[in-house]
Amino acid sequence: MIAHDGMYIDGSWRPAAGRDTTEVVNPADEQVIGVVPAGTAEDVDAAVRAARAALPAWAATPPARRGEHLAALRDALAARQEEVAATVTAELGSPIGFARRVHAGVPVAVAGSYAELAAEHAFEERIGNSTVLHEPVGVVAAITPWNYPLHQIVAKVAPALAAGCTVVLKPAEDTPLTAQLFAECVADAGFPAGVFNLVTGLGEVAGRALAEHGGVDLVSFTGSTAVGRSVAAAAGAAIKRVALELGGKSACVVLPGADLTRAVTTTVADVMRNAGQSCNALTRLLVHADHYEEAVRIAAEAVQDYVPGDPADPATRMGPLVSAAQRERVTGYVTRGIEEGARLVVGGPGAPEGREKGHYVRPTVFADVTPGMTIAQEEIFGPVVCVMRYEDEEEALRIANGTVYGLAGAVWAQDEERAAAFARRMDTGQVDINGGRFNLLAPFGGHKQSGIGRELGVHGLTEYLQTKSLQF
């Protein structure tokens, strides 16, 4: 596994300004698998300067040419897919099959989509006597979390580069090896020096210095609501653009007449994916009182398919959580759920049998969860399903919309029209109808405290553009 001891700045790997480092730990066996430099404000400053210097030429590069570079990046990511999957499995603990399919596969498709969008997008339009130019915003600070380490990097860097912006990336401290691998792919793709720069390090140090740097024009942050709030406050004070992708507490609403077994098993699979560490996980399963106990029974049975195990084994469907801190957070919520009176159907706060080493937790189903409980309101970020009961559609809507979040959602009904009518009333950024598949070109992002701005597809591209109107 590669582990560079420097930062990727201005087109080459160079030594960090300071001597601090962070260890990368495999969450399945708690072994140290790499050491990377912990960047300082000095490293961040060097990276931002390189990005600023590269900006004029990159912004003036014809979009179709920028698209060719992105196509080369897509090919570089595709060529190293197996290495990406192995790295994500080692530092995040994601099962290798899921890592291959999703963690390594999806970024190839996203990079490819921006290669095409760069070539096709209308960066100029005519409105009456005006020509409106869509110009790059400038230098972008990309701050990313660990749960989909490569996807979240690519979902920011690819559209920013397609738009003609230059980028400084500060990835999560738990998953820097994937970020270093990405920087190698950028180098392989032949981008001009300084267009993309990587500074690894702690959020409080390198992340904060980057978000607050005067040479940054736009901060694109994905992570927790608490940090997002402070990043947005700093950006606001400096009148910088900011995009935030934050947490979620998404609801899956099963309306009477829906295929209950399909709805419940699909939702359980959705929550167990990536060991529950997905911001758009459908963690609240809302079922009509008439079908409630049946749904709880199906959920309890479905969870049996997810036995925590070695993520490097292709047969494993659920690995450990990313870190000890994350395990403490999740088991804390499970204990809280029991204390507040939810009915523990499967799982619980202890380690799974035979998995005392590694940051494993037990897949858990709670029933009789009511809207006022902590586990119904706060993001757990683990494999925990909360099954909630409703009496009529109005109550279901009140519960679904009754959190500070609004990132994703799902509705199941006998017919799509009825489900879509309910979905229109949900206060959330995305809703899957009767198991609708994830669409890499549809805007992804939150309502309410789930965020500001959108990623993916053309909406993700326009985040990085600003208009200039010429009147004739």
- What's the rounded Cα separation, in Å, for the pair 270 and 435? 10
Residue 323 CB, nearest approach to ligand NAD (Å): 9
- How buried is residue 21: exposed, middle or buried, by Cβ count under 10 Å (0-12/13-18/19+)? middle
Residue 93 CB, nearest approach to ligand NAD (Å): 14
- Residue number, 185 or 219, with CB nearest to ligand NAD: 219
- What's the rounded Cα separation, in Å, for the pair 223 and 135? 27
Residue 424 CB, nearest approach to ligand NAD (Å): 22
Active site residue 279: yes
Active site residue 204: no
**Residue 168 structure tokens:** 């400084």
Task: Give me the catalytic one of 165, 252, 279, 386.
Answer: 279
- Residue number, 112 or 149, with CB nearest to ligand NAD: 149
Task: Give me the catalytic one of 245, 379, 455, 463.
Answer: 245
Phi then psi for 306, rounded to 5 degrees?
Answer: -110, 85
Residue 225 CB, nearest approach to ligand NAD (Å): 6
From the list 276, 297, 272, 277, the residue with the least C-alpha distance to 287 is: 297
Residue 405 CB, nearest approach to ligand NAD (Å): 9
Residue 105 CB, nearest approach to ligand NAD (Å): 18
- Residue number, 169 or 367, with CB nearest to ligand NAD: 169
The residue number whose beta carbon is nearest to ligand NAD equals 203
Residue 274 CB, nearest approach to ligand NAD (Å): 10
- What's the rounded Cα separation, in Å, for the pair 167 and 37? 19
- Residue number, 173 or 310, with CB nearest to ligand NAD: 173
Residue 402 CB, nearest approach to ligand NAD (Å): 18
- Residue number, 309 or 409, with CB nearest to ligand NAD: 409
- Residue number, 164 or 176, with CB nearest to ligand NAD: 176
Q: Which residues make up the interface to ligand NAD (CB under 6 A)?
A: 143-147, 170-173, 203-204, 207-208, 211, 222-224, 227, 230-231, 245-248, 279, 379, 381, 407, 446, 451
- How buried is residue 417: exposed, middle or buried, by Cβ count under 10 Å (0-12/13-18/19+)? exposed
CB of 446 closer than 8 Å to CB of 429: yes
- What's the rounded Cα separation, in Å, for the pair 205 and 39? 8
Residue 241 CB, nearest approach to ligand NAD (Å): 16
Active site residues: 245, 279
